[in-house]
Amino acid sequence: MKREMIKLGSVDLELHEEGEGSPVLFFHSGRGFRSDERFVAMLTKKYRLIAPSHPGFGASSLPDWLDSIDDIAHIHLELMDRLDLARAKIIGCSIGGWIAAELATKSPERVEKLVLVGPEGVKVGGPLKLDIPDIYAMPPEQFTKLTFHDPTKAQRDLSKLSQDELTVIARNNETLALLVWEPYMHNPKLKHRLHRLDMPVLFMRGESDGLVSADYLASYAKLVPNAQIATIAAAGHSPQIEQPEAFVARVVSFFEQGV
């Protein structure tokens, strides 16, 4: 993919782009964006895929003033201005889904269709119980079992990675903690703004997702006027990684409805 760095105010943003056709913005999860994942090549055969690394992830800078998911939504709105994207389809995975939801509430007229894959961002349960399990209070092995249907697909041999690649992983983890820790995995104001999402919205989760439960996703979707839900079998929190063919097929079907 073409990779470039662009400056948006005080943020140096890493941007990946490939393909032709209608523009699709892809907002990555806390794992960051990797252009070599299979679903990426599948999407670029049909769409112009534009994938920024959120501030603090990948090679993107993280200014001192930026400390929330909401801040990143404003950055990506500015990115749309810079790229002259009046409207675009958006796919957001995990915190990328949260970012996409925040962005769509601010400028719904700029989002043609929205896919939210295992999104966090709202509080739907009582005050004494976490909607999303505390990922910072569990060993890595438990986290992997919660997030992958097949835990072997999460394995990476860190000893074979370069220093730059290890640095990116560390930055991604550090930035994720900054963004989601307090309040944990949600913006108390977002649920009161979701009624503004007047575009078609697809909520998606992997059937084995141990972070974003089916009940949580259903409660989230009820806050959105024109929402539908899809479940990908044999997948956890990242169906785009574990089941790329099924993931892309469902996304394309949703995007092409009514065309």
* pLDDT at residue 258 is higher than 80: no
Q: Are 239 and 117 in contact (CB under 8 A)?
A: yes
CA–CA separation, 72 vs 66, rounded Å? Answer: 8
CA–CA separation, 247 vs 29, rounded Å? Answer: 15
Say whether the peptide bond before residue 188 is cis (omega within 30 degrees of 0).
no
What pLDDT band is residue 152 in, cutting at 50, 70 and 90?
confident
What pLDDT band is residue 14 in, cutting at 50, 70 and 90?
very high
The overall average pLDDT reported for the chain is 96
What average pLDDT does the segment 33-54 reach?
97
* Residue owning tokens 């730059």: 164
What pLDDT band is residue 159 in, cutting at 50, 70 and 90?
confident
What pLDDT band is residue 158 in, cutting at 50, 70 and 90?
confident
How many structural domains does the chain have? 1
What average pLDDT does the segment 3-14 reach?
98
Among residues 77, 72, 42, 44, the alpha carbon closest in space to that of 57 is found at: 72
What pLDDT band is residue 128 in, cutting at 50, 70 and 90?
confident
What pLDDT band is residue 154 in, cutting at 50, 70 and 90?
confident
Q: What is the pLDDT of residue 146?
A: 95
**At 224, which CATH number?**
3.40.50.1820
In which domain, by residue range, is 200 found? Answer: 2-256
Q: What is the pLDDT of residue 259?
A: 57
In the structure encoding, which two tokens stand for residue 150, read together? 């097949």
- 81-126: pLDDT as tens digits: 999 999 999 999 999 999 999 999 999 999 999 999 999 999 999 9
Would you give the end-to-end CA distance of the chain in angstroms? 28
CA–CA separation, 204 vs 90, rounded Å? Answer: 13
- Regarding pTM above 0.85, the answer is yes
What pLDDT band is residue 133 in, cutting at 50, 70 and 90?
very high
- 196-252: pLDDT as tens digits: 999 999 999 999 999 999 999 999 999 999 899 999 999 999 999 999 999 999 999
Q: What is the pLDDT of residue 19?
A: 97
Q: What are phi and psi of 237, to 5 degrees?
A: -70, -15
SS3 state of residue 41: helix
Q: Are 9 and 78 in contact (CB under 8 A)?
A: yes
CA-based torsion, 42, 144, 52, 213: positive or negative: positive
Buried-state track 126-155, b at ≥16 Cβ within 10 A, e below 16: eeeeebbbebeeeeeeebbbbbbbeeeebe
